[in-house]
Chain A
Amino acid sequence: QKEVEQDPGPLSVPEGAIVSLNCTYSNSAFQYFMWYRQYSRKGPELLMYTYSSGNKEDGRFTAQVDKSSKYISLFIRDSQPSDSATYLCAMSPPPGSYQLTFGKGTKLSVIP
């Protein structure tokens, strides 16, 4: 079993839809959870990070972590064509190791 599983998609939604992106993980040592957005042929861009279980909101984006289920989500409200990108989840282990573990990414297309 891979440490981080992420559905590669592709996911295609109409403009204005609510998008739900998800990752599951197996290593309970992961403590910090991040979402990156990567446009085609560009570097990943950090969107959000969370530490504990619960929700964190930033504009149209909400990150949700459920440590008991080892499940994290990113919700995008009122999706826009400019949100079309690949979204990667990433997880950080306890202090002492700076290495992130990435999911393979979900490709999202928002259709006008």
Chain B
Amino acid sequence: DSGVTQTPKHLITATGQRVTLRCSPRSGDLSVYWYQQSLDQGLQFLIQYYNGEERAKGNILERFSAQQFPDLHSELNLSSLELGDSALYFCASSAGGAPPYEQYFGPGTRLTVT
């Protein structure tokens, strides 16, 4: 158990809908990262937050947004969902601020868009 929690575990929704994925980092970790994993693309970095502020952006679509709250939990919002958004979404956390910046991953949310 990495100490990172994600809810829900599974999500099935229809095209055009909007969903919110939630992540709680390990105790004491200030950085939260979101990743998308699909069979053909591997693990794709979406976005990072550090202590409430956006730190880095990766291959995140404009239809997706995220935020980190004062209690350090984070939410990833996916809107106008398309079939191609079906994937595993992982949250990871790290202490941040000092190397080696190793990240600890949550169990993931499996999103199915029908």
List the interface of chain A (C-beta within 8 A of B). 31-32, 34, 36, 41-46, 49, 51, 88, 90, 92, 95, 97-100, 102-105
B25 beta carbon closer than 8 Å to chain A: no
B43 beta carbon closer than 8 Å to chain A: yes
- Choose among A34, A92, A98 the residue that contacts B48 (Cβ–Cβ < 8 A): A98
- Choose among A36, A45, A100, A104 the residue that contacts B101 (Cβ–Cβ < 8 A): A100
Stretch at the interface among B12-20, B69-77, B92-100: B92-100
Instruction: State the CA gap A42–B50 with chains docked (Å).
Output: 24
Best-buried of A42, A90, A99 by chain B (most CB within 10 Å) = A99
Q: Are A31 and B103 in contact (CB under 8 A)?
A: no
Instruction: State the CA gap A61–B72 with chains docked (Å).
Output: 34
A61 to chain B, nearest CB (A): 15
Known A-B contacts A98-B31, A99-B56; A45 and B105 likewise in contact (beta carbons under 8 Å): yes
Instruction: State the CA gap A22–B114 with chains docked (Å).
Output: 37
Task: Number of B interface residues at 8 Å Cβ cutoff, please give it.
Answer: 29
List the interface of chain B (C-beta within 8 A of A). 2, 4, 31, 33, 42-43, 45, 48, 50, 55-56, 58, 88, 90, 92, 94, 96, 98-108, 110
A107 to chain B, nearest CB (A): 11
Q: Are A49 and B107 in contact (CB under 8 A)?
A: no
Closest to B110 in A: A41
Q: List 10 A-B contacts (CB under 8 A).
A: A41-B110, A42-B107, A43-B4, A43-B92, A44-B90, A46-B103, A51-B100, A98-B33, A99-B58, A103-B42
Q: Are A98 and B50 in contact (CB under 8 A)?
A: yes
Q: Which residues of B contact A51 (CB under 8 A)?
A: 99-100
Instruction: State the CA gap A88–B108 with chains docked (Å).
Output: 16
Known A-B contacts A92-B100, A99-B48, A99-B56; A44 and B105 likewise in contact (beta carbons under 8 Å): yes
Q: Are B106 and A43 in contact (CB under 8 A)?
A: yes
A103 to chain B, nearest CB (A): 8
